[in-house]
Structures are given as structure tokens and as C-alpha cells.
Amino acid sequence: MKDLGPISYFLGISVTRHSGGLFLSQKKYAEEIIERAGMPSSKPSPTPVDTKAKLSISSGNPYHDPTEYRSLAGALQYLTFTRPGISYAVQQICLFMHDPRTQHISALKHIIRYIQGTLDLGLHLYPSSDHTLTSYTDADWGGCPDTRRSTSGYCVYLGDNLLSWSAKRQPTLSRSSAEAEYRGVANVVSESCWIRNLLLELHCPISKATLVYCDNVSAVYLSSNPVQHQRTKHIEMDIHFVREKVAHGKVRVLHVPSRYQIADIFTKGLPQQLFDDFRDSLNVRQPPVSMNGSSSEPENQGDLITILSIDGGGVRGIIPSEVLSVLESKLQKLDEDNKDARIADYFDFIAGTSTGGLMTAMLTAPNEKKRPLFAAKDIAKFYQEKCPIIFPNEAGAHETVPEGDVRISDPEATKQSGTMATSAAPYYFPPHYFETSKPFNLIDGGVAANNPSFLAVCEATKEKNTDFKKIVILSLGTGEPDASGRLEVGNAKWGIVDWLWQDDNSTPLLDILTTAPDEMTEKYISNVFQIIGLEHNYTRIQAQLKPSEAMMDNTRKGNLESLKKIGRDLAEQNDAKLEAIASRLVDIRKARLTHMSA
């Protein structure tokens, strides 16, 4: 037996090692498929399948060369090994192998045109100390026009890495959407159990429960409800199977909003923006810049620069405060040498806009022992107590803030904590003049300076004299308002008044000014990390809000409690991410301490 060294090419799959992990690609194989189909000059398509009605067995006339169709469909099946994003499209065309028709071959060529425009994409695998299994499952109820059977799809992650995925038509008819979704839950729980057993045999046991995310509330309820109902007797085996795993603590079935249901990509055609987002979540991305083997990251993890960025959002600051509370508790558990760990111990720069700036100061301001004045868990409590004072009440009046509450008792406190500046809308925080080592004018920057991530990167590269490849960012949002349907112009012609006010009480111009920054904060910075092949150095955690939850100055007790729950749910949904981030931050800190003591 001969040792051939590290794997580089196996069964048509190219394996490239780089500092961030492994990159799996079938580019050469994909080019062969395109050549075989006679489409080397075809116009690329942005997605592998459109959002129109699904294919039927009687779509069009019989195709003249069924053998060619079957050959190309089979070849595309193998391509899904590193391109899970095309799994649903390939599954659909494979349903008609026995009798391909003209519309079926058109759908097949649509997939090839998508591949033509995305030849460089491949599957990334990253090193991770997180051994949590996380699954997403979805079902398209009654989607098949011929049989009305549902299409199930799921994906399973080990830490941040995609491990298993599937797009498959269910073998039986479902009488309700809840039934179709629950069959999908049972399928992914079965797959997760197999993976857990496999890892156990490989001496890598999973101690934590597998998290299964489903966007159907009824299916989530069925997984833990011990009462049988007349309408669920025919799926009793699936129900008992999942409930048994839940009762034994092996599985937790949780709800996820449809906007973040990654498994949607395996059950239906999606608009380009949503498809691109979900494809990126599957770790299907461009190859890393360091494909030539040169290191994209410093050899010493202690050389990395860590940044925490917090968006603005008024009272919605409660949402990221709950996420930070969970992150801080994880740091305290993982770092045995720092049981009183605080967020500021692990980040070189903490940046925030508006309410995020307030949280930044709270996380970094020192007490008399030179330790952070506030623990992360104290921030949500502070917001609930002080929001009626800080923000205008709902009648539109401003509370009078006593001078002692806003006066800086120690002019050096801001300087010592490293707090340099923030920005805020003067509607909430009036312009304010104060002095530390130099005079400051706190003025409105809510429109011009609303990307705390970029501002922190600029300061980091300037102060630390470092490059972008050494930067690790955790970006926390304060909730993204769901504006679907509110800015649809249709055939109407808008005038000045229409931009300012609509019949449904929406204000389009203000909505654009307030929602666009949330979206662009993510797009700008994430695209940079993606281009340089260091996607794992940027993590964004954001919640989706209903319009009624998106108000920045609703200080009613019920709303504050609702925001607190949203923050807790967000932290729970991203538990695996937070565990991985905490582990990495601890490793970076320990590497620095080791280097300093050497």
C-alpha cells in the first residue's frame, strides 16, 4: 500500500486545502457536462429553476432523444455532491426519466445555463470546535401537479459545515400542510440519528441535542404534545418516533421564520436574492483567494483583530443585548482561566450606531477595579428600566432627564474605556457637547455613519496597522422590519405626497431611509469577506420583525417584553453559531496570552 499524500482529486472532485479549511469543487466535471450538452456559449441563468408552476408529466411533446436526457440528468445528479443548491432542480427533472418531454429538457438546460454562470462555485468545509448537529426541514405541500404529493427537503450541519442534504418527493399523500411538514421533520430526525451513531462509532460522540428547525408551528407543537388527535392517527409512527427522541433529550424541534428557513432551497424555486442568500448559507461559494496555497490568515491566531459591531434601532437594542448575554455566558463556561469573562475581554474593537453606541459604552466603561462596568446580562434590564426616560413616550412628548443622569461624572471614563464616538438621531439623543481630553460634539450621524462594522474596520486597520485578512467580525442587528408589500409601486405613478404618505399609514421615504441601512450594513461587509475567501471571519446575526415590533420608540412594557423574547429566540436559533464564535474568541485570547508569556 502506497501513501499518496494529502488528497487533491478523487472521483471528479477537486479538493483544495487552504488556511480556512477545505474547498471541494467539480468545475472540470461541470465543464464536461456543458460540453456534452452542446451549450458552451449559452447565456447564464441566475438561478437553476424559475418560480413558476412545477413540471407535469404531460408538459409538452415527447422529447426526441430520451437517452440524452437520462444521461444529462444522471450527470447532474452527481454534480449535487458539491453543489447542493441545484438539488431541487435536479430532483424535479429526474422525476421524468421514463418519459421526458420538451418542457422537461428545457428545465434541464435551464440548470446547465445556471452552472455555466457559476462554474467556480464549490463547497467549503471549515475547521470548527463546535460539534452541534443543526437541521433545517421544509415541505412544499401538494406541490406535484400530477399526484399532489409534497416535496420534502432538509439539510444537516455539523457546527458550521453542511454535512447532509436532500430534496425528495414524499411517497404518500398528505392531507394537510402540518402533516407534510411533520413527515419532513421525521425524515431529518432519522438522518440526524444516523449521523449521531456514525460519529459515535468514529469516537466523536455528540452530547448536545440535535436542533431541528421547522417553519410550521403545528408541526413544532406536535413534536412535544403528548396528546394524540383523531386527525393525526394515520401518521402515528412518525409522531411517536420524533416524540421519543424529544423526550430523551436527543432532539429539539424549534420554530424558524420562513425568511430564514434554509431548507426552502430544496423544496421550491426561489427569487434570485433569496436563492443567493440560502446558497451562501449552504457554504456554496467562490473559491478562496489563497487557492495557490499561501496563507490567508496569520499563522498565530493571536494576531487576529476581533470586532463586535452593533446596529442602531432604539428600544430594539434589547434584541442584541439578549444575544450578547448568551455569548458572555458561553465565554465564561469555555474559558476556565477567566470565569468572570466579559464581552470586552475578547474584542479589540466594539462599535455601535445610536442604541448600539450606548451599548458599546456600557460594555467597555470601566469600574473602579478597571473591569467592565456592565455585564451583558445587565443591558436588557437597563433598557427595560430606562427606555421610557431615554426615548420619547408614545404621546410624542420627551421626558425631562435630570442633569445628574447625563453628566459625565468622570471626564476620563470615556477616554479610559476606549469609547471614541457614536452617532444617533437627534430625535432621541439631542445634540450634546462634552469634553474629555478634547472637546466633542455629539450630533446626528444616523444617515451618513450608520455602518458600525465598516467604521470599526477603518479604525482597526489604522490603529493596529493591519490588513483585512486578520479581522474577525461579529455583527449584531436590532431586528429587520418586514417591509414586504409596503413599497410595491405597481402601475401607479407616485408623486411627492405618495413618497411621504400612503393610505395604509406607511411612509415610503422614511421606510427606505430606515430599512436600507440594515440591508446594506450586511451586504457591504459580507461581500468583502466573501471575495477574499474568508467568509468564516464574518458572522451576522439578525432577527426578522413584524411591522408592529419594529417601532424604535415603543416603550410599553408589553413591547419591551416581546423584544426580549425575540432576542432570546434569536440566540437559541443561532446557538451553534454563538458556541463556535465563543470557542474561537477563547482560542484567540489564549493564543495572545501564550505569545505574551513566551
> For residues 288 and 23, is the Cβ–Cβ distance under 8 A?
yes
Amino acid letter for position 366: P
Instruction: Spell out the CATH class of 301-392+412-482+495-596.
Output: alpha beta
The phi and psi torsions of 130 (rounded to 5 degrees) equal: -85, 120
Among 9-13, 211-215, 400-404, the minimum mean pLDDT is found in 400-404
pLDDT confidence of residue 450: 65
The segment(s) of the chain belonging to CATH 3.40.1090.10 are 301-392+412-482+495-596
Spatial separation of the C-alpha atoms in residues 308 and 578, rounded to whole Å:
13
Question: What is the overall mean pLDDT for the chain?
Answer: 79
Q: Residue 517 to residues 160, 480, 489: CA-CA distances in angstroms?
A: 27, 10, 21
Out of 276, 277, 345, 444, which one is annotated catalytic?
Answer: 444
Q: In the structure, what pLDDT confidence band is assigned to residue 370 with cuts at 50, 70 and 90? A: confident
Mapped onto helix, strand or coil, the DSSP state of residue 49 is coil
Mapped onto helix, strand or coil, the DSSP state of residue 352 is strand
Vertex 366 angle, CA 362 and 367, to 5°: 110
Spatial separation of the C-alpha atoms in residues 134 and 578, rounded to whole Å:
13
Amino acid letter for position 20: G
- pLDDT tens-digit readout, 152-172: 999 999 988 899 999 988 877
249: left (phi over 0), alpha (psi -120 to 50) or beta: left
DSSP character string of 421-480: -----TTTS--EEEESSSEEEE---TTTS--HHHHHHHHHHHHS---GGGEEEEEE-S-E
The average pLDDT across 528-554 equals 80
pLDDT confidence of residue 114: 92
Mapped onto helix, strand or coil, the DSSP state of residue 24 is strand
Q: Residue 511 to residues 419, 483, 486, 543: CA-CA distances in angstroms?
A: 30, 8, 9, 17
Q: What is the CA radius of gyration of the chain?
A: 26
Spatial separation of the C-alpha atoms in residues 266 and 135, rounded to whole Å:
13
What angle separates helix 27-36 from helix 66-79, to the nearest 10 degrees? Answer: 170
Q: Decide if 444 is catalytic.
A: yes
Write the CB contacts of 274 (distance below 8 Å, at least 6 apart in sequence).
Answer: 264
CATH number of 129-256: 3.30.420.10
Among 374-388, 480-494, 524-538, 541-555, the minimum mean pLDDT is found in 480-494
pTM exceeds 0.85, yes or no: no
Q: Which three cell numbers stand for residue 188?
A: 431529518
Q: Could you list the beta-strand ranges (E) of 173-283.
A: 210-214, 251-255
Among 205, 208, 196, smallest CA distance to 163 is for: 196
Out of 354, 417, 453, 526, which one is annotated catalytic?
Answer: 354
Q: In the structure, what pLDDT confidence band is assigned to residue 504 with cuts at 50, 70 and 90? A: low
313: left (phi over 0), alpha (psi -120 to 50) or beta: left
Q: What share of the chain has pLDDT > 70, as a percent?
A: 78
Q: Could you list the beta-strand ranges (E) of 340-450.
A: 349-352, 432-435, 439-442
pLDDT confidence of residue 538: 87
Q: Decide if 42 is catalytic.
A: no
Chain-centroid distance, C-alpha 176: 29
> For residues 232 and 155, is the Cβ–Cβ distance under 8 A?
no
Vertex 81 angle, CA 79 and 82, to 5°: 85
The average pLDDT across 423-428 equals 48
pLDDT confidence of residue 101: 87
The segment(s) of the chain belonging to CATH 3.30.420.10 are 129-256
